[in-house]
Amino acid sequence: MICPHCDKDTSASEPYCLNCGRPVELDFDVVSEAFDKEAEEKLVRGTELKTRKYLYLALGLLLAVIGARLALVPPVPRPHVLPARLVEPDLSRPAVPPLPLERLALEVPPP
Ligand SMILES: [Zn+2]
């Protein structure tokens, strides 16, 4: 609620302004609205806290699973293969064996 004397925000349930100390008229609608707003903010804060708690729990579980995976499961051995540029090519024999060729008997129809 805004104080009519100093134009600053003050509690709607107090009969005096918390900033300037002057008396403030209490209006039922204003007080009710202030309490509703406060209850809604409290609900939002509670929901945020609960959501954040579950988020941190999920993050902790994820880190625990990753840590257990790294600690308990041995790493997969990589095949020991030299890089292609270090392997000497064997040029004495062809890379692909020659295919056996056969003559095909073609039948050509007479003209
Ligand atoms: Zn005031």
Check whether 88 has a pLDDT greater than 80. Answer: no
The two tokens of residue 63 are: 């880190």
Judge if pTM exceeds 0.75: no
pLDDT band of 99, cuts 50, 70, 90: confident
pLDDT of residue 15: 86
The two tokens of residue 98 are: 């020659």
pLDDT of residue 82: 66
Between the CA of residue 80 and those of 40, 60, 77, 83, 86, what are the distances in Å?
A: 64, 37, 9, 10, 13
Distance 36 CA to ligand 1 centre (A): 22
Distance 15 CA to ligand 1 centre (A): 11
Write out pLDDT tens, residues 34-80. 889 989 999 999 999 999 999 999 999 999 999 999 999 888 887 77
pLDDT of residue 48: 97
Distance 24 CA to ligand 1 centre (A): 8
pLDDT of residue 69: 92
Between the CA of residue 104 and those of 53, 98, 101, 107, what are the distances in Å?
A: 80, 18, 9, 10
**Which secondary structure element, helix H or strand E, spans residue 30, and what is its range?**
helix 28-72
Distance 44 CA to ligand 1 centre (A): 28
pLDDT of residue 85: 67
Residue 11: Cβ-neighbour burial (10 angstroms; 0-12, 13-18, 19+): middle
